[in-house]
Amino acid sequence: MKILMVLTSHDQLGNTGHKTGFWLEEFAAPYYTFKDASVDIVLASPKGGQPPLDPKSEAPDAQTEATHRFHADAAAVKALSATLKLTDAAKGEYDAVFYPGGHGPLWDLAEDKDSIALIEHTYASGKPVGAVCHAPAVFRHTRGKDGQPLVKGKSVTGFSNSEEAAAGLTDVVPFLVEDMLKANGGQYVKKADWQSHAVTAGHLVTGQNPASSVMVAQAVLALLH
């Protein structure tokens, strides 16, 4: 079994001068959930190489068992430093595709033609597509076989407006994940801020926030068994 994990290559947090990227927990927890299930993992990003890590995800209070495991895992650190270019990786065949969040995807993966085509092809093939926290941003322009937005009529979740407000970035991000999913016809559902919450709609799996990363990965695996 082979899963493609797609990470952001974007490292600028709007015009703030601060750095962003992917959120470590949202990569590490799914990575080990898949790895411990004997899945082959392929890592990709739009630019290839080392994807930028959101420095805030290295804060002590953002660390989990999975992030500690990652830092102690030389092979995983090396694999992450050498992601494939998405253009090349997207040519392969995978059993599922998974997108970790962080604010980076709002800028690059949401607009990336290779990512959009990959999601549309994967979903149309009846294979799971998973995205957690800000990563449901990747569904901004994706469409189903009927030409309608991929999330239209489906139960979905993602980083909520209230969580973005708590992060103080409502006016910094290019769009709000919750608003975009609703605008695309998604039936947005959420739990209280920072509570783990994952939603499966057919073979589309979305998670609300960093605390949901394991649940989303487990739900993707469940669709594969």
Place of tokens 């799971």: 128
> Which pLDDT score is estimated for 225?
83
Backbone angles phi, psi at 207, to 5 degrees: -125, 150
User: How far apart (Å, rounded) are the C-alpha atoms in residues 100 and 43?
Assistant: 11
Alpha carbon distance, N-terminus to C-terminus of the chain: 10
The whole-number average pLDDT for the span 51-72 is: 97
* The two structure tokens encoding residue 211: 């605390």
The whole-number average pLDDT for the span 86-98 is: 97
> Which pLDDT score is estimated for 154?
98
> Which pLDDT score is estimated for 220?
98
The whole-number average pLDDT for the span 104-110 is: 98
pLDDT tens-digit profile of 192-220? 999 999 999 999 999 999 999 999 999 99
Residue 111, CA distances (Å) to 30, 99, 172 in order: 24, 14, 17
Closest-CA residue to 90 (of 8, 5, 33):
5
pLDDT beyond 90 at 23: yes
> Which pLDDT score is estimated for 140?
98
Other Cβ atoms closer than 10 A to 69 = 15
- 3-state class (DSSP) for residue 45: strand
> Which pLDDT score is estimated for 137?
98
- Please state whether the predicted TM-score (pTM) of the whole model is above 0.95: yes
Residue 37, CA distances (Å) to 1, 59, 149 in order: 9, 28, 32
Q: Please, are residues 116 and 142 in contact by the beta-carbon 8 Å criterion?
A: yes
Closest-CA residue to 70 (of 47, 46, 43, 106):
43
User: How far apart (Å, rounded) are the C-alpha atoms in residues 58 and 52?
Assistant: 12
pLDDT beyond 90 at 179: yes
Q: Give the total number of structural domains in the chain.
A: 1
> Which pLDDT score is estimated for 146?
96
CATH number of the domain bearing residue 155: 3.40.50.880
Domain with 133, as residue range(s), is: 2-224
* The two structure tokens encoding residue 67: 């992030």
